[in-house]
Chains A and B, each alone.
Chain A
């Protein structure tokens, strides 16, 4: 394991940021700490980096107990949401900082920084100040700066949070490719489930200071441990009191043993998909179907239709007993 977090708790005054969290992060993997704002995921990352001290529990990095080590001696790379660029230094100097602190020979520093500048595609901006870069370029500089010291683990706190949607998408894909190239154990914090699903090998879902579930994106999506995980990872709707994914609902023209009668309230075309709002026994429900299905069923408001649950996906653990 690259990082072992055991029984970590942290409070800020009355507020419980982390409550007895244990997590193993394998070497070389790209792991997302996912969860709603204020859920404790950033605190966990900062505890791994040594920027916060846990009230209880231990942190192990690459097999050594790091719990009481200061951030300087953990050999982690940390990338902040707002870049934390050293504003008075050029891009080159920013990236060279950690190497200069380690008193590496000048030639080695220059060679290494130039490699990194190329790796993150900002070689043209080496002499600029951070203020003269775009947000995306600054974030890549921050990443290069963290990678320069060849850290044991790379920690990224909402790395794309401050960027606009387009740049964010590009950087995500780029981070994934970069990780495939350098293979450093990477942990990043995000509140965006799409981002986590797209980039990470493993997702650890954290909410209200607790670890809800750890697994691959598919495991979390297809086998959510509870309703919270299910609703956090994708759209959900309620059928007879159970959470279901709207695209797991099947609409049929005729009643069957496993169907429920519903009235179509509204039909919305969103490009390829069609969102159908229904009313079942006075409860709202919505289903996501293809345009083809909608056309075949001739869906329009007021029409009676029969809803069944597609069987290919599992429900949250307790759902089977009540459904």
Chain B
């Protein structure tokens, strides 16, 4: 009896908060068939937004993968002064509102700030331009990979690496031939997580991009614009694309997850 009540309440909650709203958007996207959707996502503006989104996300993923690997190895394998600080600071981006991220970057790299002004004088534009969007995206997705890798590195332990050293392998050889293969699933998992977060970032990018149509507009900014321009099918269609990417990422992650423990 109690079991049934619990089940009904929990499922009803999930249904009303999650399943039905997502379902309605999917339904409305394709209410009039496939062609309105296709037309909406193949406008030059939508296509451009998609390209910008992918471009920004790829840069962010490459940067954060490099950072995540190095930081995770430092945290899991070394003791050094400042390790505790690094451990705490790496989580910091999770506690920062995306809008604050945007503001923070403007306050350093904006044209009227010392560093940003200097760069601008030398022809490097950061805010209202792609580099700023990449920085914002890096900021919000920074901890994800390192957080996945540290526990896995700790779990596999140092013995395999030490065995490789005693067999003559250098630090780099050991990393490439022993450590990297051992963490490959966690690495894939973390990269997907970072990618999904990067593709979907809205607030931080909204602040630093200026949302210039056909220039710095990402897919999420495009959704907002289409909605505010009373073009729901445009907004729904772009949302559908983003949602499909998100769900695909979820599926991949769920496939990868069990392998962590094998």
Contact = CB atoms under 8 A, between A and B. Distances in A.
Note whether A and B form a binding pair: yes
A97 B182 contact: no
Contacts of A77: 166
Interface in A7-57: 49-51
Contacts of A73: 168
Given A86-B178, A88-B181, A101-B173, A72 B165 contact: yes
Interface string B173-184: 100011001100
Please classify how large the interface on chain B is, using the bins under 10, 10 to 19, 20 to 34, 35 or more. Answer: 10 to 19
Contacts of A149: 167-168
Contact of A78 (B163, B169, B173, B177): B163
Contact of A84 (B159, B169, B177): B159
A71 interface: yes
A86 B169 contact: no
B170 A72 contact: yes
B164 interface: yes
Please classify how large the interface on chain A is, using the bins under 10, 10 to 19, 20 to 34, 35 or more. Answer: 20 to 34
B183 to A, nearest CB: 10
Given A97-B169, A98-B167, A149-B168, A71 B162 contact: yes
Contacts of B178: 86
Contact of B167 (A51, A87, A145): A145
Contacts of B170: 72
Contacts of B159: 80, 82, 84
B162 to A, nearest CB: 5
Contact of A86 (B163, B165, B166, B173): B163
Contacts of A50: 165-166
Nearest to A70: B165
Secondary structure of the B contact surface, majority rule: helix
Contacts of B164: 86, 97, 101
Nearest to B169: A101
A101 B182 contact: no
Contacts, number: 61
A146 interface: yes
A102 interface: yes
Interface centre among B163, B178, B181 (most CB of A within 10 A): B163
B160 interface: yes
Given A80-B159, A82-B159, A101-B173, A87 B182 contact: yes
A76 interface: yes
Interface in B127-170: 159-160, 162-170
Contacts of B173: 101
A85 interface: yes
Contacts of A98: 167-169
Contact of A102 (B168, B181, B182): B168
B163 A84 contact: yes
Given A72-B169, A72-B170, A51 B160 contact: no
Contact of B160 (A75, A76, A87, A102): A87
Contacts of A142: 163
Interface in A224-279: none
A146 B169 CA distance: 13
A51 B182 contact: no
Nearest to A97: B167
B162 A78 contact: yes
B160 A78 contact: no
A51 B165 contact: yes
Contact of B163 (A74, A80, A102): A80
Contacts of B162: 51, 71, 78, 80, 84
Given A82-B159, A87-B160, A76 B166 contact: yes
B168 A78 contact: no
Interface in A60-118: 70-78, 80, 82, 84-88, 97-98, 101-102
Nearest to B164: A97
A72 B178 CA distance: 15
A72 B159 CA distance: 14
6 contacts: A51-B162, A71-B162, A84-B159, A88-B181, A146-B167, A149-B168
A-B interface, 10 closest residue pairs, ranked by CB to CB distance from nearest: A98-B167, A84-B159, A84-B163, A78-B166, A71-B165, A88-B181, A101-B168, A80-B159, A71-B166, A101-B169
Given A145-B163, A146-B167, 4 more contacts: A71-B162, A71-B166, A72-B170, A97-B164
